[in-house]
Copies of this chain bind each other. A is one copy, B any other.
Amino acid sequence: MERIKPRTLSGFMELLPEKQQKLERMMQILRDTYSLYGFAPLDTPAIEDAQILLAKGGGETEKQIYRFQKGDSDLALRFDLTVPLAKYVALHCNELAFPFRRYQISKVYRGERAQRGRFREFYQADIDIIGDGKLDILNEAEIPAIIYRVFRGFGLKRFQIRVNNRKILNGFYAMLELSHKSGDIMRTVDKLDKIGAEKVRTILVEDCALTGDQADEILKFIAISGTNEEVLDALEGYSGRNEVFDAGVQELKAVTKNLSAFGVPEENFAVDLTIARGLDYYTGTVYETTLLDHPQIGSVCSGGRYDDLAGYYTERQLPGVGISIGLTRLFYVLDEQGLLNPELPSAPADALVLPMTEDAGAAIALAEQLRSAGIRVQLYGEQKKFKQKMSYCDKLGVPFAVLLGEDELAQGKCSVKNMRTGQQVTVTPEEAAQHIRSTLEDASGPIILEK
């Protein structure tokens, strides 16, 4: 037979079982945490009508999208989860209760240039809260609590949720009579972390045609720092000059005010006037999240408030707030930085049951009994030498081998061997389940281990 060399496309993540287990654990934490805040799971098709996906059109998106014909249909793979959400909410708005809270953890597709750490297929883990006409600021205030619980769930402590408000920036630019250039300015200021203040000033003056004074005013403004209280106080100094600005400050205060009630410690949260988020469609609060020891990674969870989710599909005004975690990239980076907990159990089973007698009936019944007690059991029936069986158990990292020979059978017991310590006990099936469960509970740990 002529054979084809097997390969996986570049830019597509495909993990070996041990790593896949860790990624699954992260997804489970995301599902559980999002559910804890009353978000409903949503699943939309990966393929949509290309006209629908490209309603906004233009730019990078259009170049990167996977678009193809099937019969007469012009189809495309989704490149994010926001556009399909907009379509979903517009399509079903009469059947949904608002505010509508949904989470979606799904793959999206972007045919980017292949590059280390860049993926063409990747998971996004999004939440959004959509209001009908209005949406209370309390929803925006809650978002940092959700981000906090997710990242703590992963095992992280050294991270910071950075928050700003686009109204403050827009209002500020209006004070400087630079509203018409605010998009360009924000995109430039967004690069502050990467290129530094001096280069930002150069771009503002040379490319955006600002006066030196205007550029200096902007740099002075975004240099405001300190505790959250100090930053908010400094903002008060600008108040009364622009309504949009004042509204933004009020919103930022509302988001910051109840942090401790939301259980978010001061050290994991910062008001940061340099955050703008490149996307034009945010209109209020904006969020970024950075790992303090790994600033080069950039933001691992971003989002914000928008006033009109689905304007391309419906005249109904649907404001919302949402965040997105680029899960595939985050996982790749955590792994690359050596932050994935190597001790985290990642075996496909808790116990390997080995029949040691001609008739496997008793071993089968034992395996089923352990499973009914919640133990994940692989029954190993291959005709191999004992040593090879043990080595298989070791290779998979299965923590327990359960042996059932004539002696154990005669006593109505089984031998449970702890593969790590080598310790072996001969006990009843009920005791075996208990023994395995209690040892496993001790061994569970966080997915991410900070150094």
Contacts and interface: CB of A to CB of B under 8 A. Distances in A.
A364 B261 CA distance: 6
A107 B47 CA distance: 11
Interface stretch (A31-39, A194-202, A288-296): A31-39
A417 interface: no
A40 interface: yes
Interface string A113-135: 00000001100000000010011
A18 to B, nearest CB: 8
B38 A378 contact: yes
A396 interface: yes
Nearest to A137: B381
Contacts of A35: 348, 376
Given A87-B6, A142-B379, A258-B361, A16 B95 contact: yes
Interface stretch (A66-74, A229-237, A265-273): A66-74
8 contacts: A7-B91, A9-B49, A35-B376, A36-B371, A36-B374, A47-B121, A136-B381, A261-B360
A20 interface: yes
Query: Oligomeric state, in number of copies?
Result: 2
Interface of A: 1, 3-9, 12-17, 20-21, 23-24, 35-49, 51-52, 55, 66-71, 73, 75, 86-88, 90-92, 95-97, 99, 101-102, 107, 109, 111, 120-121, 131, 134-139, 141-142, 145, 149, 257-258, 261-263, 310-315, 348-349, 352, 355, 360-362, 364-365, 368, 371, 374-383, 392, 395-396
Contacts of A92: 16
Contacts of A142: 364, 379
Contacts of A313: 3-6
Contact of A381 (B16, B139, B355): B139
B348 A39 contact: yes
Contact of A377 (B36, B48, B376): B36
A102 B87 CA distance: 35
Contacts of A138: 355, 360, 379, 381
A40 B21 contact: yes
B396 A51 contact: no
B381 A3 contact: no
Given A38-B376, A377-B37, A9 B134 contact: no
B49 A101 contact: no
Contact of A73 (B9, B314, B383): B9
A23 B42 CA distance: 10
A43 to B, nearest CB: 6
B8 A102 contact: no
A392 B96 CA distance: 10
Given A15-B43, A40-B348, A42-B20, A9 B48 contact: yes
A86 B8 CA distance: 12
B95 A9 contact: no
A3 B99 CA distance: 23
Contacts of A49: 7, 9
Nearest to A38: B378
